[in-house]
Amino acid sequence: MNILITGAARGLGYELVRQFADAGHRVYATTRNPETADKLKQVTDASGGKATLHRMDVGDGESVKACAREIGNAPIDILINNAGVWGGLDTQTFQNMDYENWAHEFNIMAMGPFRVVQAFLPNVLASQRKIIATMTSQTAAAAYDHVIGYSYASAKAGLNRLMTGLANELKDEGVTVTLIHPGWIRTEMAGPVADMDPPDAAADVMKVITALTPADNGKWLKWTGDEHPW
């Protein structure tokens, strides 16, 4: 299968590239800065051309379009919106909100995946599987009753609505649009206090994504494959 992953320099995105490439898939690994993505470059260099490195900043429409031009008309079976940002809890509380960070998080995590789907939909439609899988967060659920970072949680909640809208709009074209909460993972974003190591979380997410069928269109799943409450 052909797979495109955003935000692939580190964390979950890096692990997804590594594991999909190891499994023999054709992987388009995208990152803001290919020049500094040393770890990722080792994976693409060792893949014998099965995984390639591409520049894409999901916060910048021109960058997304340039990446789509570079990839051309290659079919993309699985488009994975993984790129994300977390400005830290201190600056997104009710008492102390950094509105610039809020706009940035919304741009990267809600508008970003929308831009990526706009730019790569022809590639998805040209593929066999036609899957769009997007990493969201449990904190976006109304059912999540712990402390939340308001900007991050609302950006992911906005993302959820954008993807459920696209699930409805694209279903007649055979596209499967699914949201995934990947678990609480010990990446740079969540830090060492989280639950899971990135290789384990990526293996679980990969299993869920590769098993998606049109029956999963519009669903929100956990890394376990179970449905996530809204």
Ligand X SMILES: NC(=O)c1ccc[n+]([C@@H]2O[C@H](COP(=O)([O-])OP(=O)(O)OC[C@H]3O[C@@H](n4cnc5c(N)ncnc54)[C@H](OP(=O)(O)O)[C@@H]3O)[C@@H](O)[C@H]2O)c1
- In the complex, the residues that contact ligand X under the rule CB under 6 A are 6-7, 9-13, 31-33, 56-59, 82-85, 108, 135, 137, 181-182, 184-185, 187-190, 194
Please tell me the distance from the alpha carbon of residue 59 to that of residue 84, in angstroms, as a whole number.
Answer: 10
Question: Terminus-to-terminus CA distance in the chain, angstroms?
Answer: 30
Picking from 169, 179, 161, the residue whose alpha carbon sits closest to that of residue 216 is 179
Residues sharing a CB contact under 8 Å with residue 6, sequence separation 6 or more, in sequence order:
13, 30, 56, 58, 80, 81, 82, 83, 112, 113, 116
Tokens of 174: 């055979």
Which residue lies nearest ligand X, judged by its C-beta?
Answer: 11
Shortest reach from residue 57's CB to ligand X, in Å: 4
Nearer to ligand X, 125 or 210 (CB): 210
- The three-class DSSP label of residue 71 is helix
Shortest reach from residue 13's CB to ligand X, in Å: 5
Nearer to ligand X, 128 or 147 (CB): 147
Please tell me the distance from the alpha carbon of residue 72 to that of residue 74, in angstroms, as a whole number.
Answer: 6
Helix, strand, coil % in the chain, rounded to nearest 5: 45, 15, 35
Please tell me the distance from the alpha carbon of residue 47 to that of residue 24, in angstroms, as a whole number.
Answer: 9
Asked if 74 and 127 touch (Cβ cutoff 8 Å), the reply is no
Shortest reach from residue 172's CB to ligand X, in Å: 28
Shortest reach from residue 170's CB to ligand X, in Å: 21
Nearer to ligand X, 32 or 174 (CB): 32
Shortest reach from residue 120's CB to ligand X, in Å: 14
Nearer to ligand X, 128 or 224 (CB): 224
Nearer to ligand X, 2 or 6 (CB): 6
Shortest reach from residue 173's CB to ligand X, in Å: 25
Nearer to ligand X, 24 or 103 (CB): 103
